[in-house]
């Protein structure tokens, strides 16, 4: 059974505080948009799909308590609050696209004279709730398409080993996962021999979260430090690298957790296929290339401390970008809920 990072019933939203994992399991109540912004910004919830879902659900919770009878005022407040939520983590595109879709919906409902204020609210909240269901369905489709593509590329029916970076499972989505969803599907196929997961410094999402999920689901796995990837590929046969994405540009350049780019370079050198698993909501066709993706920079303390304990020399300068951009030329395929595509073919699926 997958871990539940988001608990939602109409009017009530709780998220699993991922800063406390794996040592503590505690859920935090999200009472509205301000709480939603805080848990996203502080990375108590993280992963591009989960950020979008939690942000939008925080608005649904707040809107349910709104007794306004003026559709125009509701529409204005919705737009302002969605734009505020987008500012919490600027690199992940999913919440930006979700916000644009919801703002368009609010504009349409506001302009329709046959829609009452109560009906406006009901239809708007229901739309957000359906996003939660759709995310899980899309994740499972990504898992199946990715599993099929990876197995098809191999000869015979031998067991395979894969490498993943950061956390892309149930904790990063509404459920099941993207890259980790592919790994789940491989495991279900009985073809998965072993998973190697990186610790993912400086926030250790791999050591704290991915390792936690793999152990929870009894998937055979080994944790390695980030600087060990080249050595691993030299001494072990790795059949594929599977990572997630926070934003994919129109040409296939992909922003993902810092360290992804160097793993792609090492994979290319060792002839290991490199896959990106991401829903279509992570693809930003308005950006021609990854050069235009805004990279979030995080506080120095995430590098200099583990918890409250300082591990770096006092006074040292730090540079802490949360993401890097992997060029499309290093990516074998992008796994989506509609299938697996070469980076230069994304326009075909997005235009359908």
Beta bridge partners of 240: 162
CB 110 within 8 A of CB 75: yes
CATH dotted code for 6-135: 1.20.120.420
Question: Has residue 164 got a pLDDT over 90?
Answer: yes
**Phi and psi, residue 158, nearest 5°:** -70, 160
CATH superfamily of 141-350: Translation initiation factor eif-2b; domain 2 (3.40.50.10470)
pLDDT attached to residue 1: 56
Task: Give 69's strand partners.
Answer: none
Which of 135, 246, 284, 324 is the catalytic position?
246
**pTM recorded for the entire structure:** 0.92
How far is CA 268 from its chain centroid?
A: 24
Check residue 156 and give its pLDDT.
83
- Concerning whether 246 is annotated as a catalytic residue, the answer is yes
Q: CB count, 10 Å around CB of 186? A: 26
Please, are residues 335 and 168 in contact by the beta-carbon 8 Å criterion? no
Instruction: Convert the pLDDT of each residue in 282-326 to its tens digit.
Output: 999 999 999 999 999 999 999 999 889 999 999 999 999 999 999
Of 94, 90, 100, which is closest to residue 53 (Cα–Cα)?
94
All structural domains of the chain with their residue ranges: 6-135, 141-350
> pLDDT digit string (tens) for 5-61?
999 999 999 999 999 999 999 999 999 999 999 999 999 999 999 999 999 999 999
Report pLDDT digits (tens) over 103-117.
Answer: 999 999 999 999 999
Separation of alpha carbons 105 and 152, rounded Å: 41
Distance CA 191, CA 118 (A): 52
Task: Find the mean pLDDT for residues 63-81.
Answer: 93
- Residues 141 and 107: beta-carbon distance below 8 Å: no
β-pairing, 240-243 vs 6-9, is unpaired
């Amino acid at each position: 059974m997958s871990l539940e990072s988001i608990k939602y019933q109409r009017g009530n939203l709780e998220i699993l505080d991922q800063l406390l994992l794996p040592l503590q399991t505690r859920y935090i109540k999200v009472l509205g948009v301000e709480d939603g912004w805080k848990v996203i910004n502080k990375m108590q919830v993280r992963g591009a799909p989960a950020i979008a879902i939690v942000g939008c659900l925080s608005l649904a919770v707040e809107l349910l308590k709104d007794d306004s009878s003026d559709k125009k005022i509701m529409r204005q407040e919705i737009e302002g609050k969605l734009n505020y939520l987008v500012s919490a983590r600027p690199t992940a595109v999913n919440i930006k696209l979700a916000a644009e879709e919801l703002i368009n919906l609010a504009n349409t409902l506001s302009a329709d004279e046959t829609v009452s204020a109560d009906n406006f609210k009901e239809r708007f909240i229901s739309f957000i709730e359906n996003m939660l269901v759709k995310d899980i369905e899309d994740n499972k489709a990504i898992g199946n398409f990715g599993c099929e593509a990876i197995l098809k590329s191999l000869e015979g029916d031998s067991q395979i080993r894969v490498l993943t970076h950061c956390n892309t499972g149930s904790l990063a989505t509404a459920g099941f996962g993207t890259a980790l969803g592919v790994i789940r599907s491989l495991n279900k196929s009985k073809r998965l021999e072993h998973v190697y997961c990186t610790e993912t410094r400086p926030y250790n999402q791999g050591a704290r979260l991915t390792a936690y999920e793999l152990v929870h689901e009894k998937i055979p796995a080994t944790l390695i430090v980030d600087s060990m990837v080249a050595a691993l590929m030299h001494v072990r046969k790795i059949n594929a690298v599977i990572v997630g994405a926070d934003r994919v540009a129109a040409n296939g350049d992909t922003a993902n957790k810092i360290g992804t780019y160097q793993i792609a370079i090492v994979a290319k050198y060792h002839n290991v296929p490199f896959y990106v698993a991401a829903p279509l909501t992570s693809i930003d066709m308005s950006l021609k290339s990854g050069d235009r993706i805004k990279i979030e920079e995080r506080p120095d303390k995430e590098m200099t401390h583990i918890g409250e304990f300082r591990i770096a020399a006092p006074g040292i300068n730090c540079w802490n970008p949360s993401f890097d951009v992997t060029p499309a030329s290093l990516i074998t395929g992008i796994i989506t809920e509609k299938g697996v595509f070469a980076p230069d073919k994304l326009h075909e699926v997005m235009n359908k």
